[in-house]
Structure 1
């Protein structure tokens, strides 16, 4: 199997990185500000904000499909679908990309509140504020 130089990118990490140009043989390797590996997006600042945004977008998309297509919004049905379809997105490699900033955590919590609003008899919980 040949090494595919076209798929190889350099991710420069750190604030004072001199951004050296790297080559593979005679070919110059391209640089990137963010790369996805094993489903996790890592940027050059090692911030996981973009990863949180992607996860929230995917989870919200699934919740939107659930909201449009479900006739029965009983607690059992919503919890089963949430556990099977949404939670895997929120929990995939979370040990690695654990949200560091309050803004990112709130973004993921908004997804969970949206799921709570979908359940009949639990709509009032999503409106309550933490004390």
Structure 2
């Protein structure tokens, strides 16, 4: 028997809140002892958020919990500034290594197969859990991510002996979208799933629905501090509210995706804004 990926956290306003976390750690010690499980202290980390955080010490079984600036949680590197710069650096380096190995191993010169390889083995690394970190993207990091796809498409065009084209032309030929646009779509897909109870999240806990007969699923803006502007549940409000009301009656995520793909979207790299230019329906 084993347990993994346990997380405890507290909003540190005063010493009383710190005592709550200390108490929970003691309860965790008791639970692990009664269940015959050993806590691996060397894998335990404490990350502190906020510039005024006093960074109190925490202990498990009288062992000091190591402090860190970056922690990996379910494949995403979280830093103490919530900038996700370390995570972005990591996935960019990883995908470049994969591109090098794949182009070295696979000697094929068929564009269709090379695009399939990209979609299957490379792009997923650039898009894993984007709902968590894409809100923190600045222009520089957004450009760096897009540059990976630019590089790969340029390399496969050269390999296949095709006439060099602009990046947008290569995307059209390969039938793939810009990564920035796909991140915007991923946010909308997640919002749809949450609102239609396709996840374990309670939509009423994370969204405030406006009282609108015209658009019953229209979201109401929340008050937030500057640090919260990149939160998924904040940044998705404006893009979601810009969707035509016909979208809100769609019953399945598959149909929602199909109709959303018919819309020409212009997304800012930060993911904070989405402009609908044209849309076509075929109900």
TM-score calculated relative to the size of structure 1 = 0.87
| Structure 1 counterpart of 2:87, from 42, 51, 54 | 51
TM-score calculated relative to the size of structure 2 = 0.42
Instruction: Identify the range of structure 1 (118-127 vs 70-79) with the bigger mean alpha-carbon deviation.
Output: 118-127
1:116 maps onto 2:157 in alignment: no
SS at match of 1:123: coil
1:7 maps onto 2:43 in alignment: yes
State whether residues 53 and 107 of structure 1, in contact with CA within 8 Å, keep that contact through their aligned partners in structure 2. Answer: no
Count of matched residue pairs: 128
Which segments of 5 or more consecutive residues in structure 2 lack a partner in the other structure?
1-36, 170-283
Alignment deviations for residues 72-125 of structure 1 (CA, whole Å, 9 cap, x no partner): 333202101101110110111111121521111111101010111023236322
CA distance in 1, matches of 2:49, 2:65: 16
CA distance in 2, matches of 1:9, 1:86: 30
- Check 1:6–1:28 CA distance in 2 against 1; reply closer, same or farther (3 A cut): same
Alignment deviations for residues 1-30 of structure 1 (CA, whole Å, 9 cap, x no partner): 122222111101111111111122322211
- Check 1:86–1:109 CA distance in 2 against 1; reply closer, same or farther (3 A cut): same
SS at match of 1:15: coil
CA distance in 2, matches of 1:55, 1:90: 6
SS at match of 1:124: coil
Partner of 1:19: 55
Which stretches of structure 1, 4 residues or more, deviate above 3 A after TM superposition? none
Instruction: Identify the range of structure 1 (68-77 vs 31-40) with the bigger mean alpha-carbon deviation.
Output: 68-77
Instruction: Identify the range of structure 1 (70-79 vs 3-12) with the bigger mean alpha-carbon deviation.
Output: 70-79
Partner of 2:211: none
State whether residues 114 and 126 of structure 1, in contact with CA within 8 Å, keep that contact through their aligned partners in structure 2. Answer: no
| Structure 2 counterpart of 1:34, from 65, 70, 94 | 70
Instruction: Identify the range of structure 1 (56-65 vs 33-42) with the bigger mean alpha-carbon deviation.
Output: 56-65
1:73 maps onto 2:97 in alignment: no
Q: Which has the greater radius of gyration?
A: 2
CA distance in 2, matches of 1:26, 1:59: 41
Relative to its length, the structure with more strand (as a share) is 1
Partner of 2:15: none
